[in-house]
Amino acid sequence: MSNALRIVCKATQLILLSIEKLRESKPHESKERAMEAEGRCYGHGNTFQSVEYCNRKGRQEQTVVSDLDGTLLRSSNALPYYMLVAFEASGILRFTLLLEIDIVARAVLPKFYLADIHPHTWRAFSSFKCRCLLTATPRLFVEPFAREYLCADLVLGTELEFTKLGRATGFVKSPGVLVGTNKEKVLHRQFGDKKPDVGLGDRPSDQPFMQRCKEGYLVRKQPNIRALDQSELPKQIVFHDGRLVRRPTPGWALIILLWLPIGLLLGLLRMSAGLLPFRYAYYVISFLGVRVVVRGEQPFIEKASNSDRGFEIVDERNRGFRKQGVLFVCNHRTLLDPIFVSLALRQNVTAVTYSLSRISASISPIRTVALTRDKEMDRTKIRALLEEGNLVICPEGTTCREPFILRFSALFAEISEHIVPVAINTHLQMFHATTARGWKGMDSLYFFMNPRPLYEITFLGELPNQFCCSIGRTPIEVANNVQRMIAGAVGFHCTPFTRRDKYMALAGNNGIVSSENSNKTR
């Protein structure tokens, strides 16, 4: 055991050292790149000013054409995005399906594209009325992101070739990959003799299409420039899918591949700690590298020795008895939320859930009870469970990775007067522990495969009676108030979005499947 731990620690040190080396390394600039960085002569005697000098005033009726990699995005390397598509499409066979590529382009890629927006290019690009993106990247990869988040009116990219059955052949349509003169040809085909007002590029191969524009501006190479703050974009991303936390640059992809066998063994070991009693499991998983931070006052409520008296409040400052257990109301980050609430309380707390895969339910160290989405049946079931003990519920009905909280179902407010809001946040380094399209039975393993996963649990205290339904507040008012309390505790934003909105955006369905396919239930 000690030898295995030393190996894991040594491997982690090597990985962290590799990360630092990658950060410190600087690519060698050729003479041509140095000229580009200075915005000087750019071939054939043409000089393009830096994009910072593009006048953004009076552009409301004009057209801009911009390259993507190295221009609208800081990185000029498109390889990580191809790797994302290949990884998230789950293998070569599914990668060949147009449907799968389209879903990955809509659900996965926008998050990584948005994290790499070049600030100077965006400020120039966004000042134009008509926005056109011209890129060598396959149009299918880029178009959902460009239209939804950059408000692009037109996306011109490399066109992939597909069979009649919708399978990618591995070839591209004429005129081929859009680089060099191919970009100019496609632009001429689209606009004819009418020249776009401004062209934005970052390399010599962009020169042909920039010459077709009335003005051309060069995006200089600035390795240390910070990405655009997403608050400056017309729309922020709320939902996204995919397992990878970071963009798989070649160096980071190598680190992930080296970590996988270690992470798999460590993840299984951490999961097995859940078989221990919670008073021991907390310390064991902490020893294995899972960080658990608990804040706030925890309610000390347990079943009374005399069952007729219900539940005893054992806090010295507030002794007494009540007929029901406590209802812990949490925001939903991963399916492990109820388990970590139990760990924080050092007691086994029952969890109610709208859906859970058979595998996740079978390996759960706490009792899980499925709700039916029938309001009357669920109300009766939750009341009965509260008479048996304390309960955890996530009213969002689904997880949300970003710093947003989805709309709360008001059902919990109708049932209990003993409500304790619990704010939850997680921090992961490599793998996301949720999925809308994939197999949810792997969620727990992916969480524990992260080198140093962190769970933050903040108990916000029992809701005062004046904020419950007992004094005339409506269930919706109570639910909205609890949502705001939790959002304020973790610095998140409240949204009106629901489970249905999430799955329509990421998977094209409402997230509900038949019981026969419960292993894939969202």
* List of residues 6+ apart from 312 with CB closer than 8 A: 301, 302, 303, 304, 305, 319, 320, 321
d(CA 512, CA 283): 37
Alpha carbon of residue 422 to chain centroid? 21
Distances (CA, A) of 88 to 6, 85, 257: 32, 5, 15
For residue 485, give both structure tokens: 């309390």
SS3 267: helix
3-class SS at 328?
A: strand
Instruction: Calculate the CA dihedral of residues 84, 86, 89, 90 and round it to 10 degrees.
Output: -110
Distance of CA 310 to the CA centre of its chain: 42
Phi (first) and psi of residue 135, to 5 degrees: -145, 150
Distance CA(358)–CA(372), nearest Å, equals: 16
Q: How many whole angstroms separate alpha carbon 63 and alpha carbon 130?
A: 5
Instruction: Give the chain's largest Cα–Cα span.
Output: 93
Residue among 149, 120, 119 at smallest CA distance from 133 = 149
d(CA 248, CA 83): 7
Q: Per residue of the chain (522 residues), give pLDDT as tens.
A: 445 444 444 444 444 444 444 444 444 344 444 444 444 434 334 578 999 999 999 999 999 999 999 999 999 988 888 888 877 765 434 444 445 778 888 899 999 999 999 999 999 999 999 999 999 999 999 999 999 999 999 999 999 888 887 777 778 898 889 999 999 999 999 999 899 999 999 999 999 999 999 999 999 988 889 999 988 999 989 999 999 999 988 899 899 999 999 999 999 999 999 888 888 998 999 999 999 999 998 776 555 444 444 555 555 445 555 667 899 999 999 999 999 999 999 888 999 987 777 778 888 899 999 888 888 999 999 999 998 889 999 999 999 999 999 999 999 999 988 899 999 999 999 999 999 888 888 999 999 999 999 999 999 999 988 888 877 789 999 999 999 999 999 999 999 999 999 988 887 776 554 434 444 444
Contacts made by residues 201-206, CB under 8 angstroms, sequence distance 24+: 201/48, 201/66, 201/67, 201/71, 202/36, 202/67, 202/70, 202/71, 202/76, 203/36, 203/67, 203/70, 203/76, 204/32, 204/36, 204/42, 204/43, 205/179, 205/180, 206/67, 206/71
Specify the pLDDT at position 244: 93
DSSP 163: -
Check: CB of residue 310 under 8 Å from CB of residue 322: yes
Rounded Cα distance, 198 and 492, in Å: 39
What radius of gyration do the chain's Cα atoms show? Answer: 27
Pairing between β-strand 320-322 and β-strand 311-313 as defined by DSSP bridges: antiparallel
How many angstroms separate the CA atoms of 453 and 101, rounded?
30
Q: How far apart are CA 484 and CA 362, in angstroms?
A: 34
Positive or negative, the Cα torsion across 123, 127, 131, 134?
A: negative
Q: Which two tokens stand for residue 70?
A: 């190295």
pTM: predicted TM-score of the whole model, two decimal places? 0.81
pLDDT at 298: 79
Give, as one character, the DSSP assignment of residue 493.
E
Query: What whole-number distance in Å separates Cα of residue 274 and Cα of residue 284?
Result: 9
Distances (CA, A) of 10 to 3, 6, 24, 262, 447: 11, 6, 21, 11, 21
CB atoms within 10 A of CB 193: 6
Assigned token pair, 480: 């909205």
Exposure on the CB side of residue 228, measured as CA atoms within 13 A: 27
**Distance from C-alpha of 510 to C-alpha of 504, rounded to nearest angstrom:** 6
Distance CA 466, CA 477 (A): 12
> Residue 355's pLDDT is what?
72
Give the DSSP H/E element, type plus range, for residue 29.
none
**Distance between CA atoms of residues 349 and 299, nearest Å:** 13
Alpha-helix residue ranges (DSSP H) falling in 73-158: 79-88, 92-95, 98-107, 109-114, 119-125, 139-149
Neighbours of 111 (CB within 10 A): 21
Check if the beta carbon of residue 391 is closer than 8 Å to that of residue 385.
Answer: yes
Amino acid identity, position 393: I
| 3-class SS of residue 90 | coil
Tokens of 447: 């969480």
Distance from C-alpha of 247 to C-alpha of 84, rounded to nearest angstrom:
8
- Contact in structure between 198 and 213 (CB atoms under 8 Å): yes
